[in-house]
Amino acid sequence: MNLTDATHDPKLRSWVESANAADTDFPIQNLPYGRFRRAKTDEPWRIGVAIGDQILDLKLAAEQCPWGDGVPELLRPLSDGDLNTFMALGLDARKRLREALSTALAEGSDQGPFLELCLLPQDQAQMALPCAIGDYTDFYTGIHHATAVGKLFRPDNPLLPNYKWVPIGYHGRVSSIGVSGQQVKRPMGQTAPAAGDTTPAFGPCKRLDYELELGILVGTGNELGSPKTMEQAETDWFGLVLLNDWSARDIQAWEYQPLGPFLSKNFATTISPWVVTREALLPYRVPFAHPSGEPQPLPYLNAALDAAAGAMDITLEVWLQTAQMGAPQKLMQSNFRDSWWTVAQLLTHHTAGGCNLQPGDLLGSGTQSGPAPGQGGSLLELTNGGKAPLTLSTGETRTFLQDGDTVILRAVCSGPGKARIGLGEARGTIVG
């Protein structure tokens, strides 16, 4: 099944020289969207496209560069900093603008001399959340994470009976979502009574953790009471960001029954600033199937395209930098292709009861751990619930995060005969 087109050609090069570097996250085959303005100014926010170490300012590009029929209309909401309106236009509009931008940024383009004046180095930009996020749902699709965490509490029965049948999720808090660089204040909350005590304690979290996730941004929404089919869901999601679902494990353990997370999750969520589109990721789509002998998706969560290419080959990493480190240290690596559910299945199930999704709604993937030891997507897993501290390169140890620690999530797609596509990073620092 051929999902790619000329915009994915690994031989394609850009007149923006940094976009041709072998290790860039943002080659011409990527073209992710972000919301920015020049640092230390109060200029209006606008949407840009990352290209190498530069940002193509789409407001300036719309004003100063000639474009083909229909393209100025597509650029108009982006010039105004309104990614949501562009998201709502759907797949054909996304593909049309991707093709136009790819042609304009390609080596030898007649538009190059115009667009050279529309570039801003990324290190001179201030980034914001890429779009207005109306609602946020966090799923639990990482089966290796669910199994590892389940074993900590139920060694003989780590997965509950519904896990392999239904995408599990809960509604999160939009107001505390921040962009990479977020300063995370250690949350307060209740924790279980200490041994021999009958009264819970209230105070700062002592078991602060991260969770390695991807965030899915909805493109085209649906009307209340009108569920999406799998085929609609496949074309209606806009793109991916990295997502750190910060977690207060001691508060969570006390509060989560019977209704699930509350204060343990609502104090901060960090996402990366660049939205890597569904179209950019098409070369890294791979077959999806639950293993033989395991429960298979019910009919409403099953589709031919999803089976043929529903999963995505995205390598995910967590890095930690303590106050004593000169450079961050990699803690683990996993791959999104191990997720128990696909992006289309998450959107389809979310709307199955009639829920109306809107452009810019955010769906968290759940923690993406790998099957091997040392591939846990959280400190809870890597330290066996805090019983086996990690020894870092500086000689420091960690069971959970300390003040001054910076957690960095990274992700990249790469493979023979394909252009390397990166998601940038989601960085957050614990400030106490």
Closest by CA position to 222, among listed 350, 78, 93: 350
Same domain, 66 and 209: no
Phi, psi (deg, nearest 5) at residue 4:
-100, 170
Final residue before a domain boundary, out of 90, 109, 128: 128
Distance (Å, rounded) from C-alpha 3 to C-alpha 40?
42
Q: Which residues have CB under 8 Å from 290's CB, separation 6+?
A: 164, 296, 297, 340
Return the closest-CA partner of residue 61 out of 52, 48, 70, 51.
48
Segments forming the whole domain that contains residue 328: 136-430
71 and 200 belong to one structural domain: no
Provide the mean pLDDT of the chain: 97
SS3 300: helix
The CA distance from 316 to 362, in Å, is: 19
Q: Do 386 and 424 fall within a single domain?
A: yes
| Residue 395 CB-half CA count within 13 A | 0
Co-location of 101 and 160 in the same domain? no
Strands 182-184 and 421-430: parallel
Tokens of residue 33, six digits: 């969207």
400 — pLDDT class (breaks 50, 70, 90): very high
Q: What is the pLDDT of residues 246-257, one digit of tens each?
A: 999 999 999 998
Is 8 part of the annotated catalytic residue set?
no
Q: Assign residue 81 a region (left: φ > 0; alpha: ψ between -120 and 50; beta: otherwise).
A: left
Confidence check: pLDDT of 1 > 80: no
Active-site residue (options: 8, 144, 145, 350)? 145
**Do 327 and 263 share a structural domain?**
yes
**Binding region for substrate:** 140, 154, 252, 256, 367
Residue numbers in the known binding site for Ca(2+) are 138, 211, 213, 245
Residue 330: inside a domain, yes or no? Answer: yes
Last residue of a domain, one of 128, 149, 165: 128
CATH number for 96: 2.30.30.230
Considering the domain boundaries, does residue 417 fall inside one? Answer: yes
Binding residue numbers for Mg(2+): 245, 265, 269
Residue 29 lies in a domain: yes
Is residue 44 domain-shared with residue 113, that is, in the same domain?
Answer: yes
| 113 shares a domain with 145 | no
Cβ atoms 298, 164 nearer than 8 A:
no
* 1 domain residue, yes or no: no
Is residue 325 situated within a structural domain? yes
- Domain match, 164 and 291 both: yes
Q: For 202-216, what is each residue's pLDDT tens digit?
A: 999 999 999 999 999
Whether the CB-CB separation of 227 and 351 falls below 8 Å is answered with yes
Per-residue pLDDT tens digits for 5-55? 999 999 999 999 999 999 999 999 999 999 999 999 999 999 999 999 999
pLDDT tens, position by position, 47-61: 999 999 999 999 999
Amino acid letter at 378? S
CA distances from 272 to 15, 37, 259 (A): 26, 16, 29
Domain shared by 95 and 175, yes or no: no
Q: Are residues 161 and 310 in the same domain?
A: yes
Q: How many CB atoms lie within 10 A of CB 387?
A: 8
Q: What percent of the chain has pLDDT over 90?
A: 96
Among candidate residues 67, 95, 128, the one where a domain is terminated: 128
Phi, psi of 273 (to 5 degrees): -80, -20
Query: Does any domain span residue 323?
Result: yes
Q: Which amino acid is at 288?
A: F
The C-alpha torsion from 152 through 158 and 162 to 163, rounded to 10°, is 80
Same domain (yes/no): 34, 157: no
Query: How many folded domains does the chain comprise?
Result: 2
